[in-house]
Amino acid sequence: MKIKSKLQLGIGLLFLLNLIVGVLAGYYLQQLSEVSQSILTSNYKSLQYVRQLNNQLNKSGDTGGNQMGLFEKYLRLQEENVTEPGERAATEQVRRIFKQTGGSMPGEDQKIRMEKSIDRIEKINLKAIYIKNIRSQQIAENVTLVLGLITAFCLLVGFSFMVNFPGYIANPLQELLAGIKAIANKQYNQQLKIYTDDELGELATAYNGMAQKLGEYESSNLAKVLFEKRRIETIINSMTDGVIGFDADDKILFVNPIGSDLLKLSKADEGKNAQEVAARNRLFDEVFRKEDHKEIEFSTRNGECFFAKETIEVKNQEEAIGKVMILNNITSFHELDAAKTNFIATISHELKTPISSIKLSLKLLEDERIGKVNEEQQSLIQNIRDDATRLLRITGELLDLSQLESGNIHLTIQEAPAMAIVDYARTAVQFQADQKAVKLNVFTEEGISTITADEEKTAWVLVNFLSNALRYSPSGSKILIQVRLKRDMVEFTVTDEGPGIELQYQKKIFERYFQVPSESGKKTGTGLGLAISKDFIEAQKGQIFVISKPGKGSTFGFTIPKTRADITLPT
């Protein structure tokens, strides 16, 4: 029999006993109620009416019809309340005598006969009350006896169920718990001895089979586990990246040779808390606290090496059990990046001269003194001019990028009127705005006159913002240029009514060569403008930002310090 069936049977028995007790109690209480109700509704009322009849017969000082009218009233009520044997005859006797008086005061003889009949009615009801009281006592005694017996039986059954049934469930569970603890301690030879035909017996059988399989698995795979452990240790130790493992409490678990050399750690540091090691190892402390993906320079016996820190959290079913800090060797990438920067700078310088020559030649071609050109030739000249202008802009951006990457950017920091920068940028894009029927609105907060910045490069950033805003703004829309004071900084923002930028692209938009994918799939630039703008602004100790919601336009902005003391010029 299943545990569920046994529980249902036991609880059903208790329910049946409670039901029997309830039914018997209800039956006897109903009888007691009927007896009590009979006394209250009949005999007690008859006694009240008899008392009133005697009061009216013996009342003195009133000889009128009012006294006998009340007598007749209570007599009529008594006639309606006759319930006991012999009570009706006595009541009728009183009625006959009352009729003989004609509704007036009875004579002495009539009064005596009435009083006797009334006394008889009283005795009959008192006797009935006495008999009913004895009956109710008997019923109460019977109820007490029966309910006591049944209650005692129910208590015995319930006590037996309470004592025996929990052990029936708990004992096998305790044995199962002991078996699980043995499994946790890798004692796979312990077997459960539960031989019932219910779920507990099935569970014991399944447990015994599991323990046997685990024992077999442990025996067969221990060598494999040890082999894999040694193999992983060999791989970690042979890596060119530094690898340091920590547990959930930042205790150092292992360090490979590269990590030991870079951070000046030894085998003695394994097993110690990272904070304890950091307290006496300044290099380890700096690296441990440094943010991920930041470039770190180390001096080694092979020269200057560059590493990037990366921390990987180790989880077991969503619970963090430790982490691994990896120092990725990016020295080769750093060297390639320097070579790329030199290459870009060289190519850009080499391209600027022929492109300038092309533009000069185009200007000469348009001079009518050399000769007139037809419309088709003029169109070709215009296309060549546009391409040359675009190439010149790209080479200029590449030159700026190479300067930024090499650290050779030159800033001319001086006081500059904030409105002069805004007016320069607006004038630079006004023709393009007129062509698209886009209105440029300017708002400048009061109290802002000059800023301390590189006027040319700051204006270049604002022009870049406006050019991008015009590129994505629909015809007939508005672009708002705002200049506001933010504590000790001046904030410039450009807000358009374009399609906006999704959040996943906002985090990458200031990265080099990144362009937000367009619906047409066509690229409209090099992806360097915003990256160069970011470097220009940060070189002046400012910050650049973007706020955008898809379908609701974008706001690009940057802040510039008000005073020269806030800026440290690059060396």
Residues 369 and 473 in one domain: no
CB atoms inside a 10 Å sphere around CB 400: 21
Find out whether 483 and 446 touch, Cβ atoms under 8 Å. Answer: no
- Is residue 196 domain-resident? no
Helix (H, G, I), strand (E, B) or coil at 327: strand
Q: Are residues 399 and 523 in the same domain?
A: no
Chain center to CA of 115: 91
Least confident of 125-134, 240-249, 299-308, 313-322: 299-308
Mean pLDDT score across all residues of the chain: 78
Residue 377 domain-assigned (yes or no): yes
Q: Side-chain half-sphere of 355: how many Cα atoms within 13 Å?
A: 18
**141, 110 contact by CB (below 8 A):** no
3-state secondary structure of 97: helix
Of 27 and 475, more confident: 475
Residues 258 and 390 in one domain: no
Q: What's the rounded mean pLDDT across residues 470-483?
A: 93
**Is residue 221 scored above 70 in pLDDT?**
no
Work out the average pLDDT over 450-462: 87
Residue whose tokens read 């029999």: 1
The answer to whether residues 321 and 344 belong to one domain is no
Predicted confidence at residue 466, as pLDDT, reads 94
Domain that holds residue 47: 3-169
Q: pLDDT tens across 76-120, in order? A: 888 888 888 888 888 888 888 888 887 777 788 888 888 888 888
Q: What percent of the chain has pLDDT over 70?
A: 78
| Collapsed DSSP state (helix, strand, coil) of residue 286 | helix
Q: Is the pLDDT of residue 34 over 70?
A: no
82 is written with which tokens? 């006759």
Looking up residue 551, the CATH number of its domain turns out to be: 3.30.565.10
The reported pLDDT for the residue numbered 404 is: 57
- d(C-alpha 304, C-alpha 210), whole Å: 57
List the CATH number of the domain containing 292: 3.30.450.20
Asked if pLDDT for residue 394 goes beyond 90, the answer is no
The single-letter code of the amino acid at 3 is I
> pLDDT grade, residue 565 (50/70/90)?
very low
In a domain, 221, yes or no: no
Task: Provide the token pair at 535.
Answer: 């470097």
> Is residue 14 located within the same domain as residue 161?
yes
Q: Is residue 154 part of a domain?
A: yes
Buried b vs exposed e over 318-327: b needs ≥16 C-beta within 10 Å? eeeebbbbbb
Residue 152: which residues within 8 A CB-CB, separation 6 or more? none
The backbone torsions φ and ψ at residue 360, rounded to the nearest 5 degrees and listed phi first, read: -65, -40
Which carries the bigger pLDDT value, residue 156 or residue 366?
Answer: 156
Give counts: helices (H), strands (E), the chain: 15, 12
Q: Which DSSP string do the residues of 69-92 spell out, in sequence order?
A: HHHHHHHHHHHHT--STTHHHHHH
Give 41's pLDDT tier (boundaries 50, 70, 90).
low
Distance (Å) of CA 448 to CA 335, 416, 543: 45, 11, 19
Joined tokens for residue 126: 């008192």
The verdict on 365 and 442 lying in the same domain is no
Rounded to whole angstroms, the Cα distance separating 155 from 563 reads 91
Percent of the chain with pLDDT over 90: 10
Give the separation between CA 480 and CA 476, rounded to whole angstroms.
13
pLDDT for the residue 553: 92
- Bin 479: left if φ > 0, else alpha if -120 < ψ < 50, else beta: beta
Report d(CA 570, CA 560) in Å as an integer. 16
**pLDDT score of 278 more than 80:** yes
pLDDT at 412: 79
Look-up: residue for tokens 């629909």? 474
Asked if the structure places residue 368 within a domain, the reply is yes
Say if residue 71 is in the same domain as residue 154: yes
* 181: amino acid identity, one letter: K
Say whether pLDDT at 11 is over 70: yes
- CA neighbor of 558 nearest in space, from 467, 465, 472: 465
Question: For residue 199, is it within any domain?
Answer: no
Which amino acid belongs to residue 338?
A
Confidence of residue 546 (pLDDT cuts 50, 70, 90): very high
Same-domain pairing of 159 and 28: yes
Mean pLDDT of 289-318: 78
Same domain? For 433 and 379 the reply is no
Residues 314 and 341 in one domain: no
The whole-number pLDDT of residue 385 equals: 74
Find the mean pLDDT for residues 28-34: 69
Give the residue carrying structure tokens 């003391």: 565
Quick one: average pLDDT of 417-423? 91
pLDDT band for position 62 (50/70/90)?
low
Domain end among 388, 405, 422: 405
How many structural domains does the chain have? 4
Is residue 174 assigned to a domain? no
pLDDT per position as a tens digit, 311-320:
888 887 777 8
Q: 405, 429, 459: which is the final residue of a domain?
A: 405
Instruction: Note whether residue 7 is domain-resident.
Output: yes
Q: Are strands 478-486 and 439-444 parallel, antiparallel or unpaired?
A: parallel
The answer on pLDDT for 7 being more than 80 is: no
- In a shared domain, residues 290 and 276: yes
For residues 506 and 557, the answer to whether their CB atoms sit within 8 Å is no
Same domain? 391 vs 261: no
Q: How confident is the model at residue 556 (pLDDT cuts 50, 70, 90)?
A: very high
pLDDT value at position 568?
A: 43
